[in-house]
């Protein structure tokens, strides 16, 4: 199964007047993620489903992606993708949506980098940048089998090899 993990774009800073769940994307965050989304579109992504954290900044990121790639399928907000998302919840989502073929998940740090590091059997966790996306191929029946790295996109930058990805994230 094809799995694309997306970290939400830059949101406004935490302030007492706005709950964490209502933090929205900054203009810079929107602009940066539009570039990433166009790069993803150029790679020909064709998700059967986009699943997002219900937090506003993630929903807005997922919406920008859907608009950019002319996605007409379901956009699902899942509490499982709220901060605290872990591998067992990913396994449940992959099982539930195994017929989708390609799944996009939009979520948060540090959850996504922990999961990606585990899926790729990386020596340590990397820093998953805001507005970035990683495409992997995973065994939807068992996420304990190593995933295959396909690409990493951030803005107009596209990294196509695992070694270049490791070097770009400071792990190589």
Q: What is the pLDDT of residues 127-136, one digit of tens each?
A: 899 999 999 9
Q: How far apart are CA 28 and CA 138, in angstroms?
A: 32
pLDDT higher than 90, residue 159 = yes
Taking residues 165-170, what's their average pLDDT? 87
Cα 56 from Cα 11, distance rounded (Å):
9
Q: What is the mean pLDDT of residues 87-101?
A: 95
User: What is the reported pLDDT for 67?
Assistant: 97
Q: Which DSSP category does 129 fall into?
A: -
Buried b / exposed e along 19-28 (16+ C-beta atoms within 10 A): eeeebebbee
User: Where does the pLDDT of residue 141 fall: very low under 50, low under 70, confident under 90, or very high at 90 and above?
Assistant: confident
Give yes or no for residue 171 having a pLDDT over 80: no
Question: Architecture of 2-168 per CATH?
Answer: 3-Layer(aba) Sandwich (3.40)
pLDDT band, very low/low/confident/very high, at 120 (cuts 50, 70, 90): very high
Output phi, psi for 52, to 5 deg.
-130, 155
Share of the chain above pLDDT 70, in %: 99
């Amino acid at each position: 199964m094809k799995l694309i993990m997306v970290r939400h774009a830059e949101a406004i800073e935490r302030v007492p007047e706005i709950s964490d769940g209502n933090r929205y994307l900054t203009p810079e965050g929107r602009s940066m993620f539009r570039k990433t989304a166009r790069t993803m579109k150029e790679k020909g992504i064709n998700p059967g489903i986009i699943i997002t954290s219900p937090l506003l900044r993630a929903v807005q990121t997922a919406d920008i992606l859907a608009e950019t790639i002319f996605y007409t399928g379901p956009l699902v907000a899942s509490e499982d993708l709220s901060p605290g998302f872990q591998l067992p919840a990913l396994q449940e989502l992959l099982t539930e949506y195994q017929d989708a073929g390609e799944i996009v998940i939009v979520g948060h740090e540090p959850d996504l980098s922990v999961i990606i590091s585990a899926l790729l059997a990386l020596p340590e966790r990397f820093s998953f940048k805001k507005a970035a996306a990683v495409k992997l191929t995973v065994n939807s029946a068992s996420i304990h089998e190593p995933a295959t790295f396909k690409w990493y996109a951030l803005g107009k930058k596209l990294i196509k090899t695992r070694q270049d990805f490791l070097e770009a994230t400071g792990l190589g």
